[in-house]
Amino acid sequence: MSLEPSPISAESPALHRIGLSLQYEGSGFCGWQRQRNGRSVQAELEKAIAALDPHRPVRAVAAGRTDAGVHAAGQVVHFDCSGPIPASKWAPALNGRLPATIRVRESVFRPHDWHACHSAIYRRYRYFIYNGRRPNLFLNPWSWHRYHQYLDDGRMLNALKGLLGTHDFAAFMRAGSRRAHSRTTVQDVMLIRQGDLIRVEIQASGFLYGMVRLLMAQLVAVGEHRLSIDAFEQRWRERRRDEVREAAPPRGLCLLRAGYHEPVFTKAGWYDSQPLFLLAEGDPPPDSPFLAESGGTEP
């Protein structure tokens, strides 16, 4: 039985819900959410939808509200429409009207009780750190270049693993959040070094405002031996927000995907569409001076 809705007649302007798998290169946007003074992904998408279905106001709802400069490989969005366009045709139709920095990977019909945000059971983010000595023009838009000293990825992973479970992460929440509380469940973490590239992935039921970027800056301090693992854990467990002063730059961060109880899109159209970088030769910076001063032991 097909899930495609039948064409809508003028006598029965019934609504149907469309789900989108969306990519965007975030550097030219003020974030996902529509802003009064800034170019947002939401506004661009809603403008393109309205051009194709002008019969009613358009509101696009996303699984996650990415900040200014943050990318998305598998953002999930829904909107309601009343026109005759089949669900599968929305992707090419929208891509013909969207800027080149926003692409719809797949469009599908969804039931009315499915919600891109509320139905999601996880969001997964990826952060790239380029830990090479020399700048690389091709990596710069997608990673944080930390060239001062070699990052101890083993220490970083140990610190990251302590986040697993349900906790209060108020230390990693920027001011201005509208959330009623700061608890969330971290479901999975991953950190892999491949030469001079470090890839960090964090999956959670939800993320606080600015959480990943604040967390990544603290994690880099651990990797540079400026912050001990115990101090890192103490900061977030005791909610010492005043001690978390730095945020990692947005360009290294990408919303990899949002997940649901049942598959919504094909794997090719949703799962992991951000390419992994491969460098032929490594050129790492020197070891941390903090490590040398401590005789090779953890500070």
Residue 64, CB half-sphere, CA atoms under 13 Å: how many?
35
Pair 103, 298: CB distance under 8 Å: no
* Choices 3.10.450.50, 3.90.1150.10, 3.30.70.660, 2.40.160.10: CATH for 122-292: 3.30.70.660
CA distances to 43, 72, 165, 249 from 258, rounded to whole Å, are 21, 10, 18, 22
Does the annotation count 188 as an active-site position?
A: no
What residue ranges in 100-177 does DSSP mark as E strands? 102-110, 122-130, 144-145, 165-168
**Same fold flag, 16-110 and 122-292:** yes
pLDDT tens per residue across span 10-36:
444 689 999 999 999 999 999 999 999
d(CA 171, CA 246): 12
d(CA 26, CA 102): 9
Q: Say what the pLDDT of residue 299 is.
A: 53
Domain ranges of the chain: 16-110, 122-292
Q: Say what the pLDDT of residue 176 is.
A: 72
Q: Which of 67, 152, 153, 196 is catalytic?
A: 67
Q: How confident is the model at residue 1 (pLDDT cuts 50, 70, 90)?
A: very low
- The CATH architecture one would assign to domain 16-110 is 2-Layer Sandwich (3.30)
pLDDT tens per residue across span 266-297:
999 999 899 999 998 888 998 877 655 555 55
pLDDT tens per residue across span 199-251:
999 999 999 999 999 999 999 999 999 999 999 999 999 999 999 999 999 99
Give the mean pLDDT of the chain: 92
Q: What is the DSSP letter of 291?
A: H
